[in-house]
Structure 1
Amino acid sequence: MFDPVCPSDLTPIRFGDKWAGMLLRCLEHGPRRFSELRVPLRGISAKALTKSLRSLERDGLVTRRAHAEPTRRVEYELTALGRSLLQPIAAACAWAREHWDELLDAREASSLPTRPVQPVRG
């Protein structure tokens, strides 16, 4: 899922927005700072990351904790509700791995140019 050549929009199963599932997986092993989240999510812009984190926070899946001392920093962490999504996400990832070739074939077939429909003359 975090491979740089992997098209993250290929998987048809979504948890929230395009990045939400991957963000939840990034937070699986504990709290992380904004800049730490951008490392595995190479293709995400700061704006998209902020929007996705706010959405996850609004839905009760992630908490945002600001620390003032000794240096100001903000960390994001999964809530119990967010942790409860890890198993369904793992199942979706396993399904995508199993059907990866079929998904790629379907995407490729749908992107082929189609011939224009000829009108029926009668």
Structure 2
Amino acid sequence: MTDGHQPTGPQPINPPKTKGRPSPDYSAPAFLEAGAQHMRDRASLRDAPDGERSMAKTVAAFNALYGKDLTEEEGWMFMVLLKQARASQGKFVADDYEDGAAYFGLAGEAAAGARG
């Protein structure tokens, strides 16, 4: 869910010493709040009241191209796995966790709509 802006989300619980700068908050609620803020940001960027809901169109196109039958929920879960894979390598990037939280929430929303 990165769109070129600097993440405003979570900061570390036990932050490193910084000179004159506030320490980041990397608490669990901060990650969740940042993920929710990313979704609100998408709503204004995509001009949709409920935020970006492009996964249904995405999986429909994927299914048509590749002869598969992914659901919207599975599409969001694919994105969760992508963020998990990215988070498992290299340096810590808060955005991986912020977006992962948002994608998991979107998967839950899709699942409730389809199977609720």
- Normalised by the length of structure 2, the TM-score is 0.25
- Normalised by the length of structure 1, the TM-score is 0.24
Structure with the greater alpha carbon radius of gyration: 1
- As a proportion of its length, which structure holds more helix? 2
